[in-house]
A and B are shown apart, each in its own frame.
Chain A
Amino acid sequence: MILDPRTPSGPLEQRWTKAKEEMRLVGPINRHKFKVIVVGTGLAGASVSATLGQQGYDVHTFTFHDSPRRAHSIAAQGGINAAKNYQNDGDSTWRLFYDTIKGGDYRARESNVYRLAQVSANIIDQCVAQGVPFAREYGGTLANRTFGGVLVSRTFYARGQTGQQLLLGAYSSLMREVHEKRVKLYTRYEMHDLIVKDGEAQGIVTRNLMTGELEAHTAHAVLLCTGGYTNVYYLSTTAMASNVSATWRAYKRGAFFGNPCYVQIHPTCIPVSGTYQSKLTLMSESLRNVGRVWVPRKAGDKRHPNEIPEDERIYFLEERYPTYSNMVPRDVASRNCQEWCNKGHGVGISGESVYLDFREAIAAEGEPTIRAKYGNLFHMYHKIMGEDPYKQPMKIYPGPHYVMGGLWVDYHLMSNVPGLFVLGEANFSDHGANRLGASALMQGLSDGYFVAPYTVANYLASKINTQPLSTDDEVCKEAIDNSRNTIDRLLKSKGNQSAESFHRRLGKILFDKVGITRTKEGLQEAIKEIQELRKDFWENVRVPGDANYVNQELEKAGRIIDFIEFGELMARDALHREESCGGHFRAEHETADGEAKRDDENYAYAAAWGFNGIDEEPTLNKDELKFEFAKLTQRSYK
């Protein structure tokens, strides 16, 4: 099936304006009659809840955390892009659009990306007005820095804690609406299923994590803001509870999953050291502004990094990409790091890391300056590794960090199931096959503050004079029963292995075979291994306790089985895409000098997979990408 993305036509810069003008509105006196469910309280969820609340809709917001402020947006470090051109260095809306399209290796929709670039400036205004303490110059104006894949300074930041500050801003706006009783907040509620009736999304099933109670909540529209699925790799930079369950269960109810194989493996993570290690910690990309990446020229050189003289080091990114050097996009940097480690130049105990060196920056700018800009990152590194990065280079290695894939949505951020909107990282829309640094925060807030409030209103306008579905409806009962059956099945399993042990095994399969570099054989093996793992899970997992009170193992097991099912779809998508683009690198498809080789003739589309049953092959639907403005070229950062 060919999907209709409902993108407007006409000149690129007028599309969003035109679309907004054509959208239907809901009058202020009618808004309280419309009930909207928001799942998730990260940047996208908190911002859209606050905005719809301010406008007067009856908003019901759910989070499985104890507080909306815990959402994983909080961990974003480096910054947020905006085409303000405060630095007068040639930035513009067009250039942010172009950089994003090119950075995404021409696998994103032009209209979406241009809209993102357009509203980026408003985001900064909004956040500043909320009191976000962005970094500033001595004159009192906002400061900027550079991020990977671009040649301008357009990234706004709050030391290495930009995500935290933006989320606290959105959270405070949300809490104001909760206080004003315009948003009803449900904490420690996990979404278990999507309620679909007459082909429209009309509610969700939740489990109260405190009491175990399963409830149906119905509404005129459901907004999923549930983040990405990077945690499918087990060892990733995302939080332990980050999951795919909300989007996966929506997929099982008919929503299409877009580009699940597009994963961003971030080059600068603290490498794996412990046997029981539970996660990877990211060192912000902004460190590549001042740090230089290198490995010893001689393979297997075991000397202390400070003892390796300058001419025996190879600054491989600077050599290969003179224009962008250490600031190449993440996918490019990760692949190069892995290549040098595979060639035996890797450092550290496992030989799976490269150096990120700040010696020159510290000498040039002085330790206090570096400390002021990156102090918290250096501190984090020191804590985890027990080594002082002011005195010796950091060791870094690529780790799964972000996913560009997600539920398929049209220009209105609505999935193929009417009434189901998907915002932020949970959707597939704006980053193509690779996301540039400091663009995730931009997209989450753009969707939540400036896009969804219009498009959701447009949808609701067509629902005037309708009531939300009764929670006694048969479909609600069926959905609750469905969730209860899964829970019962998990609790009845008679094995003796923890759910987490299966997650670790899944992560290993995916990182090895659906990771930085993928091959046809590897992907075929992965599919088979994941299917076996799923079988093994149901036979050997043990979930202690019952479903009537707090049961963290039960919560975890439910998310992990979704990951296992989903991992197979990832591998299938990667297998079908016979090209290399952005974060999806197929060893069979590379240019003569080892860069990703796209196949625009056959694969210039977003793959939107439809569910046919857990043991059935999914259906591939295509969202054809047209490039009318950005010329399709081989991406080059040389």
Chain B
Amino acid sequence: MSWLTRIFTSSVGKKFLAGLTGLGMFLFLIAHVTGNMTLFLKSKVGAEPAFNAYAKKLHELPGFAVGEALVLLAFFVHIVLVIWLSITNRKARGEQGYSEVRSKQPAQSQWALMASKSTLYGGLIILVFLVVHLIDFRMVRFMDGSLATQARVVDALKVPWRAFLYSIASLLVGWHLFHGVQSGFRTMGLRHPRYLTYIQKIGTIAAILIGVLFASMPVAIFIGFIK
């Protein structure tokens, strides 16, 4: 067995790749949310909105296509591996499940526990959202080659169901990261309690920030703060 097949077929190897791709997407999300914050910048009347300039610059970056392809690949690998692992995990309990299950973890860990237990479902909902999201803002480029502009974003998110879906999905992304970031670092083998505490704290803050900031956009557009 080659070393690569071993990594892709063993539970720990799969887990590692899922963690690695997850953390990669975490970095992508940081960049994505930071860039999108330009929506909040006020531009002079008549001038092009900052968001449009940012979008243009971003797409002109050398290697952008490669980066985009990598993100897409990471999404794909992450999703496939996680679903694969989940199926194995489901089977591992056996046919007869417990009549009752309770946690022995201390009360303060219960949130983390819920986040962990709901990761898969959250992830699947995010996947559905992603399809909508890509159709909304990415497919157009295939059709007419134009970039998403602030005007288009505002038009799209003014629609109530989209505003609702986007804000909920954003919070779900945060919830997903709340478990995902610390889990990813653990899976990378990080174990020293000293650093693990920081990672847990930073992970939690980052998860909340990313979730809230993403959600703030559809909300701001819906209430007319961003025009």
A and B touch in the complex (CB under 8 A): no
